[in-house]
Chain A
Amino acid sequence: MAPLARAAQRVGAAAGDLAPIVAVIAFFQIVVLQQPFPNLVEVLGGLLCVVVGLALFVEGLESGLFPLGEALAHAFARKGSVVALLCFAFCLGFGTTVAEPALIAVAGEAGAIAAEAGVIADTDAARAGYAFNLRMVVALSVGVAIVLGVFRILKGWPVHWLIISGYVLVTVMTVFAPAEIVGVAYDSGGVTTSTITVPLVTALGVGLAASIRGRNPLVDGFGLIAFASLTPMVFVLLYGIVA
């Protein structure tokens, strides 16, 4: 009975994520636009896939990956050498970002748009390649962000100096970057930090800050996510300038 109840709870939570979107769209469709919604059956089937998929995804994360990831994060924070800790931080940031569903979605869309606009060749291979490169650049940048963030917690630097320098860097790079990469680059910051990255990375930050004497977990433990939403912009802009 317990697994069944938990499954129902997961589906309920996933449906809860989707409910506000469905409610707003239904309101606009029925009250404001009063137009028929095209392909309603396919869309409803797709929404069912989203709810069941998200429920399974979260269940898998929380029963299998998160406990192991959190235990590792605490173990490294407590006794690992600094080099091993930084290696782990990089791999954690990189690995979680590669599996992030929202990033897969937006990178795919960016590839399709770039192909339509003629920036890259209009073939499946070129589109997939563009999306893959984008995701790898973002994953690399999140890895670097977590390393930087862990380093910051170890040294106790204030978070805002690093963030503000990041903003300045983004501003300067925007001037030199080609116009067609700027939108994608700015968006990649918000896209990278969701379902997988936030819980695992927060566990690392809070575990680390709690295990170092003189650090307040609430002040020092947060801020990793902020780095992870800033460096993708810098790296994607750089990718746009170089490529």
Chain B
Amino acid sequence: MEFAWTFARGALATALDVAPIVAVLVVFQAVVLRQRLPNPRRLAAGALCVLVGLTLFLIGLEEALFPIGETMARQLTAPETIGVSAARAVWSDYALVYAFAAAIGFSTTMAEPSLIAVALKAEDVSGGSVGAFGLRVAVAVGVALGVALGCFRIVTGTPLPWYIIAAYAVVISQTYFARRDIVPLAYDTGGVTTSTVTVPVVAALGLGLAANVPGRSALIDGFGLIAFASVFPIMSVFGYATGAAWWNRRRLVHTPKET
């Protein structure tokens, strides 16, 4: 009964979230293109699925994904885990936090469906010099390093803009050296690596970390992990593409001498 009530309230709020996109598609189809809807019943069924699915997802988010991130942050920063009392802990005592963050970043990115699609396209664009699997590993390593570094930033309380702006400087200089056709793809990977399931867990991890490390404020220090996870893959894609091009050139230069 309580679940039914939660569900009904959630569904009402979700209906308002889904309404704009359905309205946009229907209105443009009917008014601007002046075409009849190709399959109204299927569209209605689809919209209903989206509504019910999103409602269930948001309930699960509150019940599971947020608590998981917070619980992991609390247990990983507990005095019995880090070995010293929280007041005397230094950044290196939180090694398990960085390991956990890197593991979450790496594994979720490797499994991310939209990244698999982008990686296959990148293989096409580059004529095979950038391998799809290698690219996925590169991006996953980028996200892992990014999230771990983001946790280090929360633990130390250093300002977020320093890291992100430094990362921008690296990305800009990499753009200068990269092949033109890889540039838009590299920029896009930053956006696609952070999936619907990963974002809440990582966000809750950061907020939980800021709440449990003494002297940190959730408002100032708790956010920013998603930003790390979005910028670092851009660097690793550029790095991988440039490295693969260099390696291929080297192989081409050396192979004829041997044969």
Contacts and interface: CB of A to CB of B under 8 A. Distances in A.
B110 interface: yes
A60 B48 contact: yes
B89 interface: no
A17 B116 CA distance: 12
A160 B180 CA distance: 9
A20 B184 contact: no
Given A46-B59, A53-B55, A183-B220, A64 B44 contact: yes
Contacts of A23: 107
Contacts of A82: none
Using C-beta atoms within 8 Å of the partner chain, give the interface range for chain B: 35 or more
Contacts of A106: 199-200, 203, 226
Nearest to A55: B53
Given A13-B113, A53-B54, A189-B230, A43 B64 contact: yes
Interface string B48-75: 1111111111111111111110011001
Interface stretch (B26-34, B128-136, B239-247): B26-34
A33 B229 CA distance: 25
Query: Taking chain A's interface residues, is the majority helix, strand, or loop, or is none over half, making it mixed?
Result: helix
Nearest to A37: B71
Interface of B: 17-18, 20-25, 28-29, 32-33, 35, 37-39, 42-68, 71-72, 75-76, 81, 96, 100, 103-104, 107-108, 110-114, 121, 124-125, 160-161, 164-165, 168, 171-172, 175, 180-181, 183-185, 187-188, 190-192, 194-201, 203-204, 207, 217-227, 229-230
Contacts of B21: 65, 92, 95-96, 98-99, 196
Contacts, number: 335
Nearest to B55: A53
Contact of B188 (A52, A164, A187, A226): A226
Given A50-B60, A53-B55, A65-B46, A99 B111 contact: no
B52 A190 contact: no
A185 to B, nearest CB: 8
B187 A226 contact: yes
Query: Taking chain B's interface residues, is the majority helix, strand, or loop, or is none over half, making it mixed?
Result: helix
Contacts of B227: 183, 186-187, 189-190
Contact of B183 (A47, A57, A159): A159
Contact of A25 (B58, B68, B217, B222): B68
Contacts of A101: 54, 57-58, 61, 196
A80 B32 contact: yes
Contacts of A220: 184
Contacts of A76: 28, 33
B29 A104 contact: no
Contact of A64 (B29, B33, B47, B112): B47
Contacts of B76: 28, 33
Given A187-B223, A222-B185, 4 more contacts: A19-B111, A46-B65, A101-B54, A182-B160
B57 A49 contact: yes
A42 B67 CA distance: 10
